[in-house]
């Protein structure tokens, strides 16, 4: 073993369980063979036979490690990082069971996501347990032993990605793959005090994944930190021409969490904790942190269209889609299925093609209704799990508690949204709790950038381990590659009337910063609506005006600028942080006789004063 940073000898207990820490140790000479040996030893020591369905032979893993070559984080950003794979995702040469032994097959090729991770230097060590055919949110519908919740063994582990979540929460691997159709990549994270990243639908290929609902399925990531989850996501994401459900996406990068003037939350009547007062109290504690620590304005949202969307998931086309995914098997080997799984999937027989189209039309209506929500908020925050059912409760009622766990998750993929589950303050009964941040497709980087800051403010340890949560890496507050910075001062500011135009073009909020004191802000003649005009004056002779700097994809930037009407234009702004982004400016001639509102310091403050 190589020495620790303090010079003391490193033991197996000292081996980091986060990617950045592990790579720091590798740079000091830690042998990756020792890392994978620690992982296998730890698996054996947990006393939980339900986490893994199968393990890679140790000798095979050692050979894979030896083929990595010298440590090179630049060439292989996941060099030497062991990981686990939910057993509905293919790993070449290992049986894929989907938690149904009679269904098992042995693939010759890795799933696309697994292939990308291995190419980046990650080392798969085993396949994890799940609710059979990824149908369930409690994590108990399996013919194998049920994985034990890492925080409290009396409650469910969460599903369907139960084994993957517990493996990370116990520190067995730095990250694990799950899948998410209705919340399977979020609920287990919330119940086990870890991060669950559910990507935008189609951003990660599902080729090589046993489908639940192929039009909705996502390969998700469980990790101890948001930084680790994002590092994995960046590598997995990408167009796959061989996957008919793959969709292009501009991923963006993590950036320092910007101010979030408005975060949506369910209105009081839509905050349902099903009598679990400890869950309600933890939710309120998280809201206090959003307000007190981050200064967020909480906007109450009518969740009715979201809940109506969630109700569609087990009606019509999407139950039929689950049936279609395993049609041959269920029609010939139904007796080999878990009885609850079979009961749910069999519901598909009650729906007609006309029912399916009716549900599709209804979903289109609900998508349009919910689109309006994003115009006024930066993201939506909801409880990840509104309750923590015990194993006994689920044994007595296999459907009720499971359904309640999906209250704030079932609608996300149907509405084509991105989501990130992050631990929050523990409940008073010491069970895990947390928030899920939700945003439109393509907002993954925005959610992760804020989520990592929230996680750092609320969590002390990773999962159920005693390992302290590492401090997030320092990030530059600059536009990602392929993006251009644009400073806005008026109605395009966050939560204001035209902000949705920037979001629709893929805009990412980077930072809020004042101009240097060399500008004057005017109300342009005409209207309504009121329009601002920012005019440059001599240095030190003007005011510092509040701006927000957004990053836009190059194509989106071009479309945005092309639509700016005279007398407004785009020039280079001088900001107080020393940066010089492009931004709105106004022709001086246009403000002759106009009202000067520079003393308000911002267009937002001026508009508020008019209310």
Which ranges of 260-326 does DSSP label H, i.e. alpha helix? 277-292, 304-312, 317-325
**Per-residue three-class SS string for 142-176:** CCCCCCCCCCCCCECCCCCCHHHHHHHHCCCCCEE
Of the candidates 315, 333, 93, the one whose C-alpha atom is nearest the C-alpha of residue 213 is: 315
Within 10 A of 530 (CB to CB), how many other CB atoms are there?
17
Strands 82-86, 123-128: pairing is parallel
List of long-range contacts for 36-43, beta carbons under 8 Å, 24+ apart: 36/61, 36/62, 36/65, 36/82, 36/123, 36/125, 37/12, 38/12, 39/82, 39/125, 39/172, 39/173, 40/125, 41/12, 42/170, 42/171, 42/172, 43/126, 43/172
CA distances in angstroms from 84 to 31, 91, 170, 188, 261, listed in the order given: 20, 10, 12, 15, 38
Of the candidates 164, 146, 167, 165, the one whose C-alpha atom is nearest the C-alpha of residue 156 is: 146
Within 10 A of 73 (CB to CB), how many other CB atoms are there?
16
Sole residue written with tokens 């969460």: 158
Of the candidates 397, 321, 327, the one whose C-alpha atom is nearest the C-alpha of residue 356 is: 321
Task: Kindly list the catalytic residues.
Answer: 86, 160, 184
CA distances in angstroms from 423 to 188, 307, 456, listed in the order given: 11, 23, 9
Q: Which two tokens stand for residue 541?
A: 């002779």
Q: Exposure string (b/e) for 109-133, b if CB count within 10 Å is 16 or more? A: ebbbbbbbbbebbbbbbbbbbbbbb
CA distances in angstroms from 562 to 264, 565, 569, listed in the order given: 31, 8, 10
């Amino acid at each position: 073993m190589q020495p620790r940073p303090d010079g003391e000898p490193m033991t197996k207990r000292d081996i980091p369980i986060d990617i950045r820490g592990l790579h720091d140790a590798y740079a000091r000479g830690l042998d990756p063979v020792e890392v994978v040996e620690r992982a296998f030893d730890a698996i054996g020591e947990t006393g939980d036979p339900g986490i893994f369905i199968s393990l890679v032979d140790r000798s095979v893993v050692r050979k894979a490690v030896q083929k990595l070559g010298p440590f090179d984080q630049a060439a292989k950003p996941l060099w030497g990082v062991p990981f686990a794979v939910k057993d509905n995702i293919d790993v070449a040469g290992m049986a894929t069971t989907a938690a149904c032994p009679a269904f098992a097959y042995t693939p010759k090729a890795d799933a696309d996501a697994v292939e990308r991770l291995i190419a980046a230097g990650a080392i798969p060590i085993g396949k994890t347990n799940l609710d059979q055919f990824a149908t369930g949110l409690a994590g108990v519908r399996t013919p194998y032993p049920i994985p034990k919740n890492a925080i409290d063994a009396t409650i469910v582990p969460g599903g369907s990605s139960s084994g993957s979540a517990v493996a990370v929460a116990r520190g067995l691997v730095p990250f694990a793959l799950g899948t998410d159709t209705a919340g399977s990549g979020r609920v287990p994270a919330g119940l086990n005090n870890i991060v669950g990243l559910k990507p935008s639908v189609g951003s990660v290929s599902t080729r090589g994944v046993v489908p639940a609902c192929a039009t909705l399925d996502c390969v998700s990531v469980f990790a101890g930190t948001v930084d680790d989850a994002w590092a994995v996501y960046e590598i997995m994401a990408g167009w796959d021409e061989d996957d008919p459900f793959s969709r292009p996406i501009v991923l963006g990068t993590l950036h320092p969490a910007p101010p979030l003037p408005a975060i949506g939350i369910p209105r009081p009547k839509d905050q349902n904790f099903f009598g679990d007062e400890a869950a309600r109290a933890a939710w309120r504690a998280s809201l206090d942190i959003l307000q007190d620590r981050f200064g967020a304005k909480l906007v109450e949202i009518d969740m009715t269209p979201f809940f109506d969307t969630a109700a569609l998931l087990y009606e019509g086309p999407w139950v039929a889609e689950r049936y279609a995914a395993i049609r041959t098997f269920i029609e010939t080997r139904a007796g080999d299925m878990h009885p609850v799984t079979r009961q749910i999937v069999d519901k598909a027989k009650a729906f007609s093609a006309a029912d399916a189209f009716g549900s599709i039309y209804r979903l289109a209506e609900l998508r349009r209704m919910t689109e309006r929500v994003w115009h006024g908020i930066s993201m939506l925050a909801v409880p990840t799990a509104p309750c923590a059912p015990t194993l006994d409760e689920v044994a007595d009622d296999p459907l009720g508690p499971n359904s309640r766990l999906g209250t704030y998750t079932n609608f996300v993929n149907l509405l084509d949204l991105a989501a990130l589950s992050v631990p929050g303050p523990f409940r008073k009964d010491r069970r895990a709790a947390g928030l899920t941040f939700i945003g439109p497709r393509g907002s993954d980087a925005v959610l992760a950038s804020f989520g990592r800051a929230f996680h750092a403010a609320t969590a002390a340890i990773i999962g159920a381990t005693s390992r302290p949560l590492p401090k997030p890496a320092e990030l530059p507050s600059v536009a990602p590659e392929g993006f251009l910075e644009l400073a806005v001062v008026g109605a395009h500011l966050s939560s204001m009337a035209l902000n949705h135009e920037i979001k629709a073009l893929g805009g990412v909020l980077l930072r809020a910063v004042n101009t240097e004191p060399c500008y004057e802000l005017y109300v342009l003649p005409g209207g309504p609506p009121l329009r601002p005009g920012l005019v440059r004056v001599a240095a030190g002779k003007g005011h510092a005006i509040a701006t927000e700097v957004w990053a836009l994809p190059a194509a989106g930037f071009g479309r945005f600028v092309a639509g700016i009407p005279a007398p407004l234009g785009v020039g280079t702004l001088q900001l107080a942080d020393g940066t010089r982004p492009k931004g709105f400016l106004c022709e001086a001639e246009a403000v002759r006789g106009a009202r000067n509102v520079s003393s308000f310091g911002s267009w937002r403050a001026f508009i508020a004063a008019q209310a």
